[in-house]
Structure 1
Amino acid sequence: MADILTITLNPTVDLSTHAPEVVAGPKVRCDAPVADPGGGGINVSRAIKFLGGKSTAFVATGGETGARLLRLLASEHVKFTAFSVTGDTRQSMSITDKSSGAQFRFVMPGPVWDDHMVNDALHAIGAAAPHNAIVVLSGSQPPGVPVDFPARLNRALAPKKCRLFVDTSGAPLRALTQSCVGPFVLRMDDVEAENLADRPLLSRVNTAEFAADLVARGVAQNVIIARGSDGSTLVNRDGRWHCARAIDPAQVVSAVGAGDSFVGAFCMAMSRGDTQIDALVFGTAAASAAVMTEGTKLCHAADVSALLSDCELVEV
């Protein structure tokens, strides 16, 4: 069983609430908010915990919001290693309009990092990562963190022979796809993939061809592209597969948390020795389960187990 270390450089306290109607002008009176620890890597660790697995969350935190975040993690019994940064950890908010069902999400930028914080974080992650671990870098980067941070992290982890799973977006993702860094897994969604490809990826075949080009160029050993409600495509040098979601679109309550649930389940499966294909199916079931929950909630183990047999795996 391989250890799992998740990394969240830009965590957040996620507040979620409901309002009768969200309109500009008058005060929008909301229900009592629910607070959850948030950020890509944190949610991956939470999903692993909900599925009965174990991981350690490396979390960069600062200020009173950061202290609150760590208390929330402790209350969920998620094991963590805290890395102190200058500035306050951010907060985010999602408000669901009861009249329409629409969800409004407000995301803050987070504290600004300098070069010393970046270098200190790389050293701290290298020290925290066990040998032969699966390391997950997930979520946005704080302002000031260089776009080549995933490449730097991959080099820093090389002496410990860790398998790096990168799930990022924007400029860091583009920089990664223009290099031959070669992390174990690179994941993105369909919108990000189309932006990188500079063309629509209308079919599973189109998606698989784009992912295969990234693998051939040495960008990553495995490339996973989420196709929204259609599921996820996995490509490596051995083949191309697609796993379709196990639920009807009408069952979708909130898309928040689907990606993190997928990553958590995928890495949990890999840590216990499953193949990448089996991990793809497990991840798809977890993503399907996550969209059935409200707000910032993630997957439930019982739902994942119930949906697992309904996930359709095909070669592309």
Structure 2
Amino acid sequence: MDVPSLPQTPPILTLTVNPALDVSTSTPHVTGEHKLRCSATRIDPGGGGINVARVIRRLGGTALSLYAAGGPTGDAFRQLIAAEGLPTVMMPIHNSTRQSFTVDETDSGKQFRFVLQGPEVTEAEWTACLDTLATTMPAGGYLVASGSLPPGVPDDFYARVARLARDAGARCIVDASGPALSAALAEGVFLVKPSLRELEAHAGVKLDTPKNQADAAAQLVASGAAEYVALTLGGAGAILASASGVIRSDVPRVTVISTVGAGDSFLGAFVLRLAQGRTAEEAFRSGIAAGSATASTPATELCHRDDVERLETELAAALSVPRR
């Protein structure tokens, strides 16, 4: 398999085994048993690692994206990716790439998100994905494994990915949930980015106070599960835990329109800044800026560079850095 040659930029590789065609539209009111007349439809290539790479590109960086795709929707997905000019390696599967469907209810401001199940992936297909990953692993760079696992892929898939990265001298970053997240943490990773709900599910307890949240993130670092834990809290801000302590930050004031892709944008900006030699605190600030910028865009649109840089500047003055 030919791998696109990349310019000499910080080595970042993203992995998406369950991408999706993100379809979004709006209608005045969502109600049952009626035809709902919708606005114009927007279609974007989505999925964790794909969105991370798209944000990295928008912010002036470069990442090579590995993704699994198949069927007619996979063909459409590949065309959308090509139109954005992302360097990619497609890992073929037999079944069709999934779709996700987002509807904005304009009368209420509510957003309805329908995430369809991914295609069944055979053992031969997911092991081939691991083989492709092993041949493209960025030694000395960053591997971002992000998104859900489709049916047929084992819960320890990201743990296997983390092991490959460690053996190759790459820093593995995981954004996952449920058993896949827990297995990756048991293996040990460089950075993990859970939401509050994902961290609560892993810890098995309710984390309903700032102290409990900070302690849970710090405990993952202390146990060796991750060198960095970036805990995103939506409108309540974010926490970064490392061996140096815990940083908590509020999010900048923006008009939230759609949170689709905000977490991926956070991670894309964070990783890019690390690869560019920024400090973890600066990368954290950039991640918050990118997530907030994406939340202020409609439907499945992602952040824009000018907005991210403006919000980074605002946060630089406001970010407090308490140490534990």
Q: Same fold (TM over 0.5)?
A: yes
Partner of 2:188: 182
TM superposition shift of 1:243: 2.2
2:256 maps to a residue whose letter is V
2:177 is the counterpart of 1:173 = no
2:137 is the counterpart of 1:133 = no
Q: Structure 1 vs Structure 2: percent identity of aligned residues?
A: 39
Partner of 2:320: 313
Separation in structure 1 between the aligned mates of residue 312 and residue 107 of structure 2, nearest angstrom: 33
Partner of 2:62: 54
Partner of 2:6: none
Contact kept? 2:166, 2:172, Cα under 8 Å: no
2:220 maps to a residue whose letter is L
Deviating beyond 6 angstroms after TM superposition, the runs of 4 or more aligned structure 1 residues are none
2:208 is the counterpart of 1:202 = yes
Partner of 2:3: none
Q: TM-score, normalised by structure 1?
A: 0.95
TM superposition shift of 1:201: 2.1
2:321 maps to a residue whose letter is V
Root-mean-square deviation (Å): 1.3
TM superposition shift of 1:262: 0.3
Contact kept? 2:178, 2:201, Cα under 8 Å: no
1:36 maps to a residue whose letter is D
Partner of 1:37: 45
Match of 1:254 among 237, 254, 258: 258
Separation in structure 2 between the aligned mates of residue 83 and residue 196 of structure 1, nearest angstrom: 30
Greater alpha carbon shift after TM alignment, 146-155 vs 191-200 = 191-200
TM superposition shift of 1:130: 2.5
Q: How many residues are paired up? A: 312
Contact kept? 2:10, 2:62, Cα under 8 Å: no
Separation in structure 2 between the aligned mates of residue 297 and residue 174 of structure 1, nearest angstrom: 30
Separation in structure 2 between the aligned mates of residue 291 and residue 126 of structure 1, nearest angstrom: 34
Contact kept? 2:178, 2:202, Cα under 8 Å: no
2:310 is the counterpart of 1:303 = no
- Unaligned stretches of 5+ in structure 1? none
Match of 1:229 among 223, 227, 235: 235
What SS does structure 1 have at the residue aligned with 2:72?
Answer: helix
Greater alpha carbon shift after TM alignment, 258-267 vs 72-81 = 72-81
Separation in structure 2 between the aligned mates of residue 47 and residue 176 of structure 1, nearest angstrom: 24
Contact kept? 1:246, 1:308, Cα under 8 Å: no
Match of 2:79 among 61, 68, 71: 71
TM superposition shift of 1:314: 2.3
Separation in structure 2 between the aligned mates of residue 212 and residue 98 of structure 1, nearest angstrom: 41
Separation in structure 1 between the aligned mates of residue 21 and residue 27 of structure 2, nearest angstrom: 20
Q: How does 1:239-250 map to 2 (within 5 A)?
A: 239-248=245-254
Q: TM-score, normalised by structure 2?
A: 0.93
TM superposition shift of 1:304: 0.8
Separation in structure 2 between the aligned mates of residue 111 and residue 223 of structure 1, nearest angstrom: 30
- Unaligned stretches of 5+ in structure 2? 1-8
Contact kept? 1:2, 1:132, Cα under 8 Å: no
Contact kept? 2:174, 2:184, Cα under 8 Å: no
2:18 is the counterpart of 1:10 = yes
What SS does structure 2 have at the residue aligned with 1:188?
Answer: coil
Greater alpha carbon shift after TM alignment, 196-205 vs 152-161 = 196-205
CA deviation digits over 1:47-98, x for unaligned, max 9? 1111111111111000111111011011111111110012000111101111
Q: How does 1:76-225 map to 2 (within 5 A)?
A: 76-177=84-185, 179=186, 181-225=187-231
Partner of 1:284: 288
